[in-house]
């Protein structure tokens, strides 16, 4: 490879390869058309000269950076690093790269992050459990930057969103616990400021009502480990304790299980059954063996990328996608008579 003191340009590659500069551009533009012979000559010349295409310069010509902004609220929950990795891999296979920004769920910080993504001239934005104000969505729409919400929805008919079927999941958890003969079923909910937390609680309450039952307790766990552990301690220390707890996600459920076993000396599931939501990898570890509703992350990621690519291709029709997930039965919840071996 030849070393040079000045940056190698597409024109240098074109001269060495004996092709036009536009041919070089086509070779290094995902989806553009070029013959195998041209591709071979251009790649050989680029390798010899040490040329790498300048994405910013290409963006000025095409109007596309091939970058997608991903805004995520927090990564403590194992579900989000897992989803982030898979989103990145699928988008890379489509010729895109991800810029990851952290933003807590308050308007000022989200606005600042979105402005940074606009400055980076991203082609599109995926938000993971982050809400958007009407002002932000209106501005992005005016700039032609499509947005897809991942694992979160909001009351905006103009936004696309992809979630698991949270109402069905909450319902499934309650039905399983009722069928197993539990009498005092509590729900430590996900943050009620989020659509996921509200929908899972709605499904839980609907199943309880249809069975002629009332929840033993409903507590907002805020998707926070300490808050969820404190809720479990309070539920089991005051008066009659629950004999089952449906927890709004696995991240909180692990804290609840630790508190029940090591803080209160209770047996799971003999004293208290526990069900989570997400099915992160740690849920299958023998130390927890957590019965949980699985979020079908691969299907959710595929649907998110499909919707976003459709928007980038000009189809701006908002889509609301709900993907059902199964109950993964392990050892943290008592079984009904018909399910026992």
CB 321 within 8 A of CB 153: no
Examine the pLDDT at 257 and tell me if it is beyond 70. yes
Same domain for 236 and 214, yes or no, is yes
| pLDDT tens profile 6-30 | 788 888 989 999 998 888 878 887 6
Let me know if residue 105 belongs to a domain. Answer: yes
Q: How many domains does the structure of the chain reveal?
A: 3
DSSP E strand boundaries for 14-155: 67-72, 97-102, 124-128, 147-150
Same domain for 252 and 229, yes or no, is yes
Same domain for 203 and 274, yes or no, is yes
Examine the pLDDT at 4 and tell me if it is beyond 50. no
Which SS3 state, helix, strand or coil, does residue 22 take?
Answer: helix
| pTM score, whole prediction | 0.83
Same domain for 85 and 152, yes or no, is yes
Let me know if residue 208 belongs to a domain. Answer: yes
Predicted pLDDT of residue 314:
92
Same domain for 215 and 148, yes or no, is no
| pLDDT tens profile 179-238 | 999 999 999 999 999 999 999 999 999 999 999 999 999 999 999 999 999 999 999 997
Predicted pLDDT of residue 5:
59
Let me know if residue 2 belongs to a domain. Answer: no
Predicted pLDDT of residue 1:
47
> Residue 224 is part of a domain; what is its CATH number?
3.40.50.2300
Let me know if residue 280 belongs to a domain. Answer: yes
CB 234 within 8 A of CB 203: no
Mention every residue, 6+ apart, whose C-beta is less than 8 A from residue 133.
107, 110, 111
- Tell me 106's DSSP state: S
Predicted pLDDT of residue 175:
98
| pLDDT tens profile 271-323 | 999 999 999 999 999 999 999 999 999 999 999 999 999 999 999 999 999 99
Let me know if residue 4 belongs to a domain. Answer: no
Let me know if residue 5 belongs to a domain. Answer: no
Same domain for 46 and 186, yes or no, is no
Instruction: List the domain range (segments joined by +) for residue 305.
Output: 67-164+297-323
Examine the pLDDT at 57 and tell me if it is beyond 90. no
Examine the pLDDT at 61 and tell me if it is beyond 60. no
Predicted pLDDT of residue 11:
87
Same domain for 78 and 123, yes or no, is yes
Same domain for 308 and 284, yes or no, is no
Same domain for 149 and 285, yes or no, is no
Same domain for 24 and 150, yes or no, is no
Whole-Å CA distances, 133 to 106, 144, 153, 181? 9, 17, 12, 44
Which SS3 state, helix, strand or coil, does residue 73 take?
Answer: coil
| pLDDT tens profile 92-144 | 999 898 899 988 776 688 888 888 998 888 999 999 988 888 888 888 988 89
Tell me the Cα Rg of the chain.
25
Predicted pLDDT of residue 338:
64
């Amino acid at each position: 490879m030849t070393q040079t003191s000045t940056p190698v340009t597409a024109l240098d590659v074109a001269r060495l390869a004996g092709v036009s500069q536009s041919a070089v551009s086509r070779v290094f533009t995902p989806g553009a058309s070029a013959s195998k012979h041209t591709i071979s000559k251009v790649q050989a010349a680029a390798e010899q000269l040490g040329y790498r295409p300048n994405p910013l310069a290409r963006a000025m010509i095409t109007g596309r950076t091939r970058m997608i902004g991903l805004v995520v609220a927090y990564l403590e929950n194992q579900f989000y690093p897992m989803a982030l990795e898979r989103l990145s891999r699928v988008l890379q296979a489509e010729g895109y790269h991800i810029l990851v920004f952290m933003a807590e769920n308050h308007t000022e910080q989200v606005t600042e992050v979105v402005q940074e993504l606009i400055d980076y001239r991203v082609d599109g934005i995926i938000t993971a459990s982050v809400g958007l104000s009407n002002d932000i969505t209106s501005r992005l729409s005016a700039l032609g930057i499509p947005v897809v919400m991942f694992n979160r929805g909001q009351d905006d008919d103009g936004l696309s969103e992809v979630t698991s079927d949270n109402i069905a999941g909450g319902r499934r958890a309650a039905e399983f616990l009722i069928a197993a003969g539990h009498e005092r079923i509590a729900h430590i909910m996900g943050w009620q400021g989020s659509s996921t937390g509200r929908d899972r609680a709605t499904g839980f309450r609907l199943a309880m009502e249809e069975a002629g039952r009332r929840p033993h307790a409903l507590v907002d766990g805020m998707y926070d480990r300490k808050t969820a552990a404190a809720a479990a301690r309070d539920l089991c220390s005051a008066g009659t304790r629950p004999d089952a707890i449906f927890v709004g996600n696995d991240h909180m459920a692990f804290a609840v299980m630790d508190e029940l076993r090591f803080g209160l000396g209770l047996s799971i599931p003999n004293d208290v059954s526990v069900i989570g939501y997400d099915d992160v990898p740690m849920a299958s570890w023998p130390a927890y063996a957590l019965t949980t509703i699985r979020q079908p992350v691969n299907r959710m990621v595929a649907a998110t990328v499909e919707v976003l690519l459709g928007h980038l291709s000009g189809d701006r029709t908002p889509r609301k996608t709900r993907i059902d997930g199964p109950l993964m039965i392990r050892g943290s919840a008592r079984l009904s008579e018909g399910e026992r071996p």
